[in-house]
Amino acid sequence: MKVIMTETLLIDLDTEKWHCRRCDKKIGSARKSYKEGMLVYERDPQDIHPTQLDPEKYEFTFAPDPKWIRILEYYCPKCGVMVETEYLPKGHPPAHDLEFDIDALREQWKDREELTEPAYGPDLQMERKVHRH
């Protein structure tokens, strides 16, 4: 049984491993942080959010202040898909953002059907329950 946990990651309950959903790369133990199996790159935020106003003239330019905040980009080591971005002040320890109880997850999914695509949800609950003939 594979459970889709994020846009790009799933947990294989049989092997208890994180996998990349794009290339099926085994990322690491599902009982640990998936980040441990990722490649990380520290970005100057202005690479992504460029200055719109002339930085020679102005202090605030629509671009984040690189002295205040950095972007950590997490990539799958096999296919290079970007799994996560984390905006942190310089030196702030990255979060162990996803920590699931694997035993409880297995129990929860024993009666559920495996999904092959993420359930992105309906626009409205009513849309899903609309009565059709």
Partner 1 sequence: MDKIEALEPNDDQFDEETMMAKFLEETTLFLGPDPEIMGDHDLAERSDREDEAMKKVTDPATLAIVRDRILAGANEGFEMLENMGAAPGAKWGDLVTGVFSAAGDLAISSTGGVLIFSSLVHHPVKFINKYWRDEPTVGIRPGDVFMHNDARYGNIHNTDQSMMLPVFHEGVLIAWAGATVHEGENGAVEPGGMPSSAESVFDEGLKLSPLKVGENYELKRDLVTYFQNTVREPKLQYEDMKVKMFVCRRIEARIREAIDEYGVDAVIACLRVGLEDTRAEVRRRVSEWPDGTVRYSHFADSTLRENVMIKIKLELRKKGDTLTFDFRGSSPEFANRCNNTVQASLKGMICQLFLAFIWPDLPRCQAAFAPMVVLTDEKSALNSSYLTPNAQSMMTFFPAFTGAQIACAKLMFSIPNKSTKVVAAWYDMINTFLYGGMTQHGEIVGNVCADINGMSGGAHGDRDGENAVAPIFATMADIGEQELVEEEVPFIQIVSKRLLMDNQGMGKHRGGMGYEMMVAMTDSEQWGFMVTCIGSKTPNAAGLFGGYACPTYPLCKVKGVDVFEMFKSNPEDFSYSMIDVMNNQPFKEATYSTHHMGLQYELTRRGELYMISQGAGGGYGDVLERDPLDVMRDVEEKLTSQTLANNIYKVVYDTETLVVDEAATQKARDKERAARKKRGMPFKQFCKQWSTKKPPANIPFYGSWDDSKLIYGGSPEETMTPDTMRSITMPHPKDVRIEALEAELEAAQKKLARSAKAKAAPKAKAKAKAAPKAKAKAVRKGRKKSR
Q: Which of residues 59-98 bind partner 1 (CB under 8 A)?
A: 59-65, 67-69, 71-75, 77, 79-85, 87-98
Q: How far is the CB of 101 from partner 1 (least distance, A)?
A: 4
What is the footprint of partner 1 within residues 22-51 (CB under 8 A)?
35-42, 48-50
**Residues 39 and 46: beta-carbon distance below 8 Å:** no
Q: How far is the CB of 97 from partner 1 (least distance, A)?
A: 5
Residue 7 engages partner 1 in binding (rule: CB under 8 A) = yes
Binding partner 1 (rule: CB under 8 A), the pick from 123, 131, 132, 133 is 123
Please provide the DSSP assignment of 55-85 as one string.
TTT-S--SS--TTT-EEEEEE-TTT--EEEE
Q: Are 71 and 85 in contact (CB under 8 A)?
A: yes
The encoded tokens of residue 45 equal 């935020």
By CB under 8 A, is residue 133 in contact with partner 1? no
Q: Does 116 bind partner 1 (CB under 8 A)?
A: no
**Is 31 within 8 Å of 49 (Cβ atoms)?**
no
